[in-house]
């Protein structure tokens, strides 16, 4: 018989299992602690269990652990990790160090189905969704990397890696629960941001589910014609629909979203574009993160100029919009925003 994935069992299911094999109930809590608080992936190292019980677990269960297949360190100390999954697919995760925080940028899908024109991941096929354990493992491995490389704790998590998180809704929510639970990694949901390209009905579901984490919308254009061109998802999730969904989210959760806006030269960086963005921000109250464009292979877009960027941001600020310019990290190792395209050798064989 095939071994069962032990991390698919809840604490209650583990408790029933141990009752059936005449083990005390507290064993379930011990194993649950090893799996989700200590992030242990080897039964042999669960030292407070008897040898007999560890052998039983080894014979009957498996832990489909994610492993770091390749690690690259940027000149700015950003670290990109190619994460190998149990079925040999690869996703990429990034550790982004700042003076006051360590941020993990994690993936939710193998590849992506949204085909955004400016994004390297969008040029890959979507092979499958990640499960909650695989998303959790990325965080645990990045947390370990931050401790080993920089002697620093992991402080923030952004679901901004490969894939569209809201098209893998249930597993993303389950992963957040494991990461934030006191029986898991115990991180605050206020330190977690989930970024979406804009799936209106799932934003409404987030609101109805009363999520506590932060929400970011990859906006990049504040009129439908331009957004349709660069982000085909907008054809079925127009700015009107997104505005309604986001206002519902604000009403239900009390949390305002962040709008991510990559500035492309002579496409969405004019004063007229800034006026459209101001108008959208008046409809949906939120702050704006301006992101410099990171060129990818065969892209038609270019990075805007410093003067156009300055004029754009000054217009936002003049109209009372909270605006931060985010400078890219890890560009020299293709780890910056939009550059996660699985260029490591193993992934190239699978996703192209």
- Taking only Cα atoms into account, the Rg of the chain, rounded to an integer number of angstroms, comes to 21
- How far, CA to CA in Å, does 113 sit from each of 224, 246, 248, 251? 20, 23, 26, 30
DSSP 236: T
Match 């060129």 to its residue by tokens: 295
Helix axes 169-180 and 132-150, enclosed angle (nearest 10): 40
Contact 113, 167 (CB under 8 A): yes
Calpha distance 156→41 (Å, rounded): 23
Contact 152, 102 (CB under 8 A): yes
Calpha distance 206→200 (Å, rounded): 10
Query: CB-hemisphere CA count at 13 Å for 348?
Result: 3
Q: Which three-class secondary structure state does DSSP give residue 259?
A: strand
- Select from 193, 174, 102 the least CA-distant residue to 134: 174
The region that residue 77 occupies, defined by phi over 0 for left and psi between -120 and 50 for alpha, beta otherwise, is left
What distance lies between CA 152 and its chain's CA centroid?
Answer: 20
Catalytic annotation, pick one of 92, 134, 164, 171 = 92
Match 């064993």 to its residue by tokens: 27
Does the annotation mark 92 as catalytic?
Answer: yes
Residue 121: other Cβ atoms inside 10 A: 26
Does the annotation mark 12 as catalytic?
Answer: no
Length of the chain: 352
What distance lies between CA 348 and its chain's CA centroid?
Answer: 21
Tokens of 311: 């004029």
Catalytic residues: 92, 337
């Amino acid at each position: 018989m095939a071994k069962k994935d032990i991390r698919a069992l809840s604490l209650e299911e583990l408790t029933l299992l141990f009752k059936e094999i005449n083990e005390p109930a507290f064993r379930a809590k011990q194993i649950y602690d090893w799996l989700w608080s200590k992030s242990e992936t080897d039964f042999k190292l669960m030292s407070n269990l008897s040898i007999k019980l560890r052998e039983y677990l080894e014979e009957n269960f498996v832990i489909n652990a994610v492993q770091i297949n390749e690690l690259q360190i940027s000149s700015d100390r950003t670290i990109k990790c190619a994460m190998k999954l149990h079925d040999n697919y690869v996703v990429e995760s990034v550790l982004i160090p700042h003076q006051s925080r360590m941020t993990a940028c994690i993936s939710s899908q193998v590849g992506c189905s949204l085909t955004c024109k400016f994004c390297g991941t969008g040029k890959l096929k979507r092979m499958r969704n990640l499960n909650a354990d695989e998303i959790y493992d990325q965080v645990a491995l990045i947390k370990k990397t931050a401790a080993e490389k920089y002697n620093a704790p992991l402080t923030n998590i952004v679901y901004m890696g490969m894939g569209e998180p809201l098209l893998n809704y249930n597993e993303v929510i389950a992963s957040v629960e494991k990461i934030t639970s006191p029986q898991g990694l115990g991180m605050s949901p206020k330190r977690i941001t989930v970024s979406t390209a804009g799936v209106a009905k799932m934003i409404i579901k987030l609101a109805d589910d009363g999520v506590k984490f932060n929400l970011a919308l990859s906006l990049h254009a504040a009129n439908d014609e331009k957004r349709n061109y660069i982000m085909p998802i907008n054809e079925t999730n127009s700015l009107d629909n997104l505005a309604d969904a986001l206002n519902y989210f604000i009403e239900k959760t009390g949390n305002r979203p962040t709008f991510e806006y990559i500035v492309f030269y002579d496409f969405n960086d004019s004063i007229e574009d800034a006026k459209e963005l101001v108008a959208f921000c008046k409809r949906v109250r939120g702050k704006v993160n301006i992101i410099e464009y990171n060129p990818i292979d065969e892209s038609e877009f270019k990075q805007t100029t410093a003067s156009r960027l300055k004029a754009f941001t000054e217009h936002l600020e003049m109209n009372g919009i909270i605006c931060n310019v985010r400078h890219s990290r890890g560009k020299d190792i293709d780890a910056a925003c939009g550059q996660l395209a699985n260029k490591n050798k193993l992934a190239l064989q699978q996703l192209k």
